[in-house]
């Protein structure tokens, strides 16, 4: 959420940010409602002062004068009630519109509409050249008995899967490896809640825009989160932390759920786009002046993880049309997937300024007073999507798949072979 004072003084900048992010926002209406709300508030304050003045005079008045003052107070109360009702109505509408106002992108974010307008920053790693016809991940999963798609669809419908045998173990290996990797770098491990309140989804910026992507449990008024970021950031709602306690660095592990509304027909084959997945998420809450430093740190963590897994990748600076409501800057990390013959998104590194902190009232106190914190996040690893490049890159001519060296201690074996 943007500070209303910022919107008042920078309406053109806010409107331009919304346009470039492809988000519909009526800045003029927001300013009109804001002005009306302030005018009504001024009137109500004046009426309260007048009511209090008359109330005091009643105590000293007598006879007809006292009755006249009482009638005046009653009229003021009626007028005040009408103004307060109107103000509540206006404020509700204003608050709803403010929730849809996007943050202003950093100055180095390229203006663009789609991922084609993202700016490539670097490519890292050498693409493997196969001396045999490589299989895609689904063929490998079938031949090595790693996946039960038919059974999952029978139970849960389309875009469902069940990893089994070494497929499940490989997922456990890579997620545990990444958790250990980040714990060694000073991140606090958290088993994040996947059931969250609407306030947490709204506070982190996933509602109201994006609400159609979430699964809802009506009986309990809870949602299934699409990322542990919701729990990790939301946990600090309404807190004021000493500056000395910052940054808060967390690595969350959770199952994530996304309806993929609007994605009908896209990436329906395989494990690329599914409704349920496991994700290790990096989240940092920090002082406002430190955000750029930690953005670089989160991005480096993701790159170091992919490098340690021996997977080629590229980093792209996302354009305005590809960054979300609250993000001021985003870098996408895309891992090479042989069967797709391209780099595909596996990590998303985001800087959100004080956008989430304002919505959730997360602050810190230093010598300068109380300030809103800044938040950042980045995928550390997401499975089963990351299994696509691992299986396809490390496949062998005999149909087996070698395990990346860093995962061997977690798997207890060096190779996944067909059961014979």
What does the pLDDT read at residue 241?
97
Strand bridging mode 401-402 / 248-257: unpaired
Strand partners, 119: 317
Whether pLDDT at 69 is above 80: no
Q: What is the SS3 string spanning 116-159?
A: HHCEEEEEECCCCCCCCCCCCHHHHHHHHCCECHHHHHHHHCCC
Which of 249, 250, 236 shows the shortest CA–CA distance to 362?
A: 236
Domain range for 281 is 115-416
Residue 358 in domain: yes
* pLDDT bracket for residue 63 (50, 70, 90): low
Task: Report the range of poorest mean pLDDT among 208-217, 304-313, 392-401.
Answer: 208-217
Last residue of a domain, one of 71, 98, 125: 98
Residue 110 in domain: no
Same domain, yes or no, for 43 and 141?
no
Kindly state the tokens that stand for 23: 């988000």
Same domain, yes or no, for 201 and 90?
no
Last residue of a domain, one of 64, 98, 132: 98
Distance (Å, whole) CA 378 – CA 406: 21
What does the pLDDT read at residue 386?
98
Residue 284 in domain: yes
Residue 106 in domain: no
CATH code: domain of residue 94 = 1.10.287.40
Active site residue 385: yes
Whether pLDDT at 381 is above 80: yes
Same domain, yes or no, for 157 and 205?
yes
CATH code: domain of residue 350 = 3.30.930.10
Same domain, yes or no, for 94 and 160?
no
Same domain, yes or no, for 311 and 268?
yes
Residue 103 in domain: no
Residue with tokens 């895609």: 136
Answer whether the bond into residue 152 is a cis peptide, omega within 30°.
no
Same domain, yes or no, for 227 and 309?
yes
Active site residue 345: yes
- Beta strands per DSSP E along 287-397: 313-317, 329-337, 342-351, 363-366, 369-372, 374-383
Same domain, yes or no, for 173 and 81?
no
Q: What angle do CA 277, 279, 283 make, to 5 degrees?
A: 145
Whether pLDDT at 397 is above 80: yes
Active-site choice (273, 308, 314, 400): 273
Active-site choice (159, 258, 359, 363): 258
Exposed / middle / buried, residue 58 (Cβ in 10 Å: 0-12, 13-18, 19+): middle
- Average pLDDT of span 39-66: 81
Whether pLDDT at 64 is above 80: no
* Average pLDDT value for the chain: 94
Q: What phi, psi does 11 have (nearest 5°)?
A: -60, -40
Residue 230 in domain: yes
Active-site choice (358, 359, 363, 385): 385
Residue 107 in domain: no
Active-site choice (348, 350, 358, 383): 348
Same domain, yes or no, for 91 and 167?
no
Strand partners, 279: 254, 382
Which of 140, 124, 413 shows the shortest CA–CA distance to 270?
A: 140
Angle between helices 63-98 and 27-60 (to 10 degrees): 160
pLDDT tens, position by position, 18-50: 999 999 999 999 999 999 999 999 999 998 888
Active site residue 258: yes
Active site residue 348: yes
Last residue of a domain, one of 39, 68, 98: 98
- Average pLDDT of span 228-254: 97
Same domain, yes or no, for 88 and 119?
no
Kindly state the tokens that stand for 173: 């290996």
Q: Give yes or no for a contact between 338 and 149, defined as CB atoms under 8 angstroms apart.
A: no
* pLDDT bracket for residue 269 (50, 70, 90): confident
Active-site choice (197, 345, 400, 402): 345
Task: Report the range of poorest mean pLDDT among 154-163, 173-182, 184-193, 304-313.
Answer: 154-163
Same domain, yes or no, for 150 and 78?
no
Same domain, yes or no, for 88 and 167?
no
Which of 167, 30, 184 shows the shortest CA–CA distance to 97?
A: 30
Biggest alpha carbon–alpha carbon distance for the chain: 107
More confident residue, 51 or 84: 84
pLDDT tens, position by position, 314-333: 999 999 999 999 999 999 99
Domains in the chain, number: 2
Active site residue 273: yes
- Average pLDDT of span 57-72: 73
Same domain, yes or no, for 358 and 284?
yes
SS3 content of the chain, % helix, strand, coil (to 5): 45, 20, 35
Exposed / middle / buried, residue 302 (Cβ in 10 Å: 0-12, 13-18, 19+): buried
Residue 108 in domain: no
């Amino acid at each position: 959420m943007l500070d209303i004072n910022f919107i008042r003084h920078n309406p053109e900048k806010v409107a331009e940010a919304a346009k470039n992010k492809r988000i519909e926002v009526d800045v003029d209406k927001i300013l009109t409602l804001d002005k009306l709300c302030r005018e009504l508030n001024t009137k109500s304050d004046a009426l309260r002062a007048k009511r209090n003045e008359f109330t005091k005079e009643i105590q000293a008045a007598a006879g007809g004068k006292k009755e006249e003052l009482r009638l005046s107070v009653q009229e003021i109360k009626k007028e005040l009630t009408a103004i307060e009702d109107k103000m509540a109505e206006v404020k509700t509408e204003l608050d709803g519109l403010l929730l849809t106002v996007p943050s202003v992108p950093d100055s180095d974010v390229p203006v663009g509409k789609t991922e084609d307008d993202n700016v490539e920053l670097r490519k890292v790693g050498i693409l493997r050249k196969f001396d045999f016809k490589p299989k895609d991940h689904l063929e490998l999963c079938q031949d090595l008995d790693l996946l039960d798609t038919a059974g999952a669809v029978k139970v849960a419908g389309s875009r469902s899967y069940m990893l089994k045998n070494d497929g499940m173990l490989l997922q456990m290996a890579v997620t545990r490896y990444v958790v250990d990797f980040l714990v060694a770098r000073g991140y606090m491990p958290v088993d994040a809640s996947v059931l969250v309140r609407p306030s947490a989804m709204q506070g982190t910026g996933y509602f109201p825009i994006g609400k159609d992507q979430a699964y809802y449990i009506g009986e309990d008024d809870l949602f299934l989160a699409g990322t542990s970021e919701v729990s990790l950031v939301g946990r600090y709602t309404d807190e004021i932390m000493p500056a000395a306690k910052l940054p808060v660095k967390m690595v969350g592990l959770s199952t994530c759920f996304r309806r993929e509304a609007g994605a009908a027909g896209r990436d329906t084959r395989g494990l690329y786009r599914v409704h349920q997945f496991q994700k290790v998420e990096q989240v940092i809450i920090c002082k406002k002046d430190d955000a750029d430093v930690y953005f670089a740190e989160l991005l480096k963590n993701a790159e170091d993880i992919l490098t340690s897994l021996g997977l080629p990748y590229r980093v792209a600076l996302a354009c305005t049309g590809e960054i979300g409501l609250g993000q001021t800057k985003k870098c996408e990390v895309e891992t090479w997937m042989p069967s797709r013959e391209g780099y595909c998104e596996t990590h998303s590194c985001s800087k959100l300024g004080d956008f989430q902190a304002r919505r959730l009232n997360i602050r810190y106190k230093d010598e300068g007073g109380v300030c809103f914190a800044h938040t950042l996040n980045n995928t550390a690893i997401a499975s089963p999507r990351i299994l696509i490049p691992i299986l396809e890159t490390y496949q062998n001519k005999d149909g087996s798949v070698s395990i990346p060296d860093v995962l061997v201690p977690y798997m207890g074996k060096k190779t996944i072979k067909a059961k014979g």
